Amino acid sequence: MRNEWICGEYLTSRRTELLDALALHAQITVISLVVAALVSVPLALVARRWRWLESVVLGASTIIYTVPSLALFSLLLPFTGLSPTTVIVGLVLYSLTILVRALVTGLAAVPDQVVEAAQGMGYGPTRLLWQVRFPLALPSIMAGVRVAAVSTVALTTVGAVVGYGGLGDLIYAGLRSLFKPQVLTASVLCVVLALVVDLLLLGIQRLATPWRRGRPA
């Protein structure tokens, strides 16, 4: 096998290895985003309900985001060990900064007139939240989800330090051995995965907000 950046033989002989790494990368990304979304919603609602907690929640998540990924994964090792959990927990913590801020900003941008009109029509707090506030805040929320998704795809590669980085494992192994086709192929697949995830989320956003079709995403 030739050690050149573009090598067709590498693609055919290592196809299974590449697909396994891609599948692991996508799995870690999806799990991290789902868990982050489930955690960020109650945090954002708490921040909106008690305004004095908003700066605390946003400040704490921002501080976590400033911690370098290598350092964060190392801090988690005593608790989660060398496992995918280490990578997932780290990615969830990073995503919270983006998702919580997007949720808080989106909910805060809902016009008061719309809320008052819904209350006048008999909407209770729960119905008001899910049928009025969230739909109107959805564009801002989805923009945050897209940023968090692309960021998660990129940061997953750093999980190679604990042996669970998906495509990052191949990138780091290729760099150590100076194996050019492996480094390039895994890097390109990582970029393609980020683009595919972003386009899927953009499609979901367009389907969920039909009143905004024709406007810039």
Q: What pLDDT does 152 receive?
A: 92
Q: What is the mean pLDDT of residues 189-213?
A: 85
Class of domain 8-208: mainly alpha
Q: What pLDDT does 176 receive?
A: 86
Residue-wise pLDDT for 114-125, tens only, equals: 877 887 877 777
End-to-end CA gap in the chain: 44
CA angle 40, 96, 61 (to 5 degrees): 115
If you average pLDDT over each of 70-79, 149-158, 169-178, which comes out highest? 149-158
- C-alpha span between 28 and 33 (Å, rounded): 9
Q: Are 64 and 100 in contact (CB under 8 A)?
A: no
Categorize the per-residue pLDDT at 2 as very low, low, confident or very high, splitting at 50, 70 and 90.
low
Residue-wise pLDDT for 4-57, tens only, equals: 667 767 778 788 888 898 999 999 999 999 999 999 888 888 877 777 777 777
Q: Are 123 and 92 in contact (CB under 8 A)?
A: no
Q: Which residues contact 25 (CB under 8 A, 6 or more apart)?
A: 153, 156, 157, 165, 166, 167, 168, 190, 193
Categorize the per-residue pLDDT at 159 as very low, low, confident or very high, splitting at 50, 70 and 90.
confident
Q: How far is CA 150 from CA 45, 156, 195, in A?
A: 24, 10, 8
**The model's pTM:** 0.82
Q: What pLDDT does 195 receive?
A: 94
Q: What are phi and psi of 111, to 5 degrees?
A: -60, 135
- C-alpha span between 72 and 89 (Å, rounded): 10
Q: What pLDDT does 10 receive?
A: 72
